[in-house]
Amino acid sequence: MLRLILLGSLFAIGCAKDVTKDIEDLADRACACAEKKDAACGKAVVTDLVKLAENNKNAKGDEAKAAAAARRMGECLIKSGMDPQELMTALQKLGN
């Protein structure tokens, strides 16, 4: 579910900047938050993801790599201590 929201927001919008590396970097940050069990850190990652989507409405990239990074990001955000419902609510902004 998280993966679909993340990918839908970034790739279904159009094609321009390749954001694959940006998504992988955010996933790395989310996993660092998970290691520290730091929900506030995870929320900052989500905020940056939303900004990335807003600033790259015509995003493109390697969908397979982005899907793997998005899946990893979602798992790590939950492990960081973010409430799953709060995460879903934040990510729904990406689909708008």
pLDDT digits (tens, 9 = 90+) for 46-64: 999 989 988 887 777 888 8
- The pLDDT, as a whole number, for residue 91 is 79
Q: How far apart are CA 41 and CA 30, in angstroms?
A: 8
Least confident stretch, 1-5, 64-68, 89-93:
1-5
DSSP 21-34: HHHHHHHHHHHHHH
In the structure, what pLDDT confidence band is assigned to residue 10 with cuts at 50, 70 and 90?
low
Residue 17 clears pLDDT 80, i.e. is over it? no
Average pLDDT, rounded, for the chain:
83
Distances (CA, A) of 19 to 15, 26, 31, 33: 10, 11, 18, 21
Q: What does DSSP assign to residue 14?
A: -
Question: What per-residue confidence (pLDDT) applies to 57?
Answer: 77
Domain locations in the chain?
2-95
